[in-house]
Amino acid sequence: MNAHLLYWNLVFAWGWILLGFLSGSVMGLCFHRENWLGGYASWPRRLYRLGHISFFGLGFANLLFWATARMLPAQPAMLDSASLAFLIGGVTMPLCCLLAAHLSWARHLFAVPVLSLFAGGVITFLALL
């Protein structure tokens, strides 16, 4: 496993957690307006919330991957693929949320982060066996 690549999962994790704090703070400035982004149950507002929480969730997923990969006695090369998959999924999920909030066709792009994150999880699980 490339230790330099693994390091980026750690940096990414903390960066995404900080972006979660920041995006929540910025969105929180508008939450008091009942009709902000079309109201609480509107498609755009739901996707903004999903994008916000994805910063935290995928930050923690990358942090967990980093910790797991470091604990393995032998770090197989296939973990490089998992590392990249978690990074790609982490970057593309909030982007897809933002795009899909405003462009209906963009909801189909969710396949990219979902499949990437699923692949990263499967590869990591197999490395543990």
- What DSSP string describes 78-120? HHHHHHHHHHHHHHHHHHHHHHHHH-GGGGGGGHHHHHHHHHH
Taking 80 as the threshold, does the pLDDT of residue 1 lie above it? no
Query: pLDDT grade, residue 36 (50/70/90)?
Result: confident
Question: Percentage of the chain surpassing pLDDT 70?
Answer: 100
**Residue-wise pLDDT tens digits, 38-93:** 888 899 999 999 999 999 999 999 999 999 999 987 778 899 999 999 999 999 99
Report which of 61, 70, 81, 84 is spatially closest to residue 126, judged by C-alpha positions: 81
Report which of 63, 88, 69, 60 is spatially closest to residue 127, judged by C-alpha positions: 69
Mean pLDDT, the chain, rounded, equals 94
pTM of this structure: 0.92
